[in-house]
Amino acid sequence: MNGNKKSKDSTVQSRYGQFAEHVETHDEPLPLNIDGYEPKGLEPTNRLAERLYAPTQLIDIPEPAINASIGCGNPLAIASIKAGEHVLDLGSGGGIDCFQASKAVGDEGYVIGVDATPEMITLANKNREKMGANNVEFRLGQIEQLPVESNSIDLIISNCVIDISPDKTAVFNEAFRVLKSGGQIAITDTVLLGDLHPQLKANIDIWSGAVITPLISLEAYLAYIVEAGFIDIRVDSLTSYGLESFEQLDEASQKTLTQNYEWSPLPPKTGLYSAAIWAQKP
């Protein structure tokens, strides 16, 4: 492990450890967006989870798990999940996606959440006890080196986590390793679309909170999945973060996005998006 990755790992653990502690000590959601770094002016009552999931998906989910949600999509919405399956969540945080998966797989199934932050593992386990989810387990570990047996998983989900990793090759190689033949990945993550000016791209990284690892294009993201050996790759949806409506963004956002850059309207399908991606292991 090189020094740069060690430094980024330490930054991730420190930042997300603070998020977990905030959720435990405040009865309110994190006022954060995308990868959980930059406040976006969300009111404490404006829970991100309630914008990402249907109300029925949040039934019986512990409040701290809902409050800790800082994803960018709903990976289970594009997954084909069956009772009795084994599911793995990469970067499980407070456990919100794991608990939804646990209801879908039932008592005969099993869900594993892997997270690199000890405080998040502690928070997730407290949520598991509150929910009584006996078919869920949380493991401390890196998504680039999963503490999971090979060929043991039916479905991998991940919600706005892989974009933070500095070694996406390792992430998708590990995902391929632990999946059974025919297993699937269902991911939501932030990506860039279109030809962006370098300064604007740098400003978007700052605005979105991608200061741990810079954002990459959708094409580059999909290339990692192809290189790992996955097939039948599809992009189920692309949801814009609103750069095409620059005038409607708040003043602070406009200031960040125009740092050393004169704004001009973006072409269609250009900017920052949440992508829902599905693929399968042969």
DSSP 28: S
Alpha helix (H) ranges present in the chain?
3-25, 49-52, 63-67, 96-105, 118-131, 168-178, 198-208, 218-228, 251-257
Q: What b/e sequence results for 71-106 when a residue is b if at least 16 CB atoms lie within 10 Å of its CB, and e otherwise?
A: bbbbbbbbbebeeebbbbbbbbbbbbbbbbbbbbbe
Q: How many domains does the chain have?
A: 1
- Residue 231: phi and psi, rounded to 5, are -125, 170
Residue 102 CA to residue 90 CA, distance in Å, equals: 15
End-to-end CA distance of the chain: 30
Please give the pLDDT value at position 28: 67
Please give the pLDDT value at position 8: 59
Q: Please tell me the pTM assigned to this model.
A: 0.89
Question: Distances in Å between the alpha carbon of 191 and those of 10, 107, 187?
Answer: 23, 36, 12
Please give the pLDDT value at position 115: 96
Please give the pLDDT value at position 25: 73
Residue 27 CA to residue 24 CA, distance in Å, equals: 7
- What range does the domain containing 246 cover? 3-280
Strands 86-90 and 136-140: unpaired
Residue 21 CA to residue 26 CA, distance in Å, equals: 8
* Residue 24: CATH number of its domain: 3.40.50.150
Of 181, 206, 204, nearest in space to 192 by CA: 204
Please give the pLDDT value at position 261: 97
Query: What is the mean pLDDT of each successive set of 10 residues along the chain, which is 282 residues long?
Result: 60 68 70 44 60 88 86 93 98 95 97 95 95 97 97 97 95 98 97 97 90 91 98 97 92 93 96 97 98
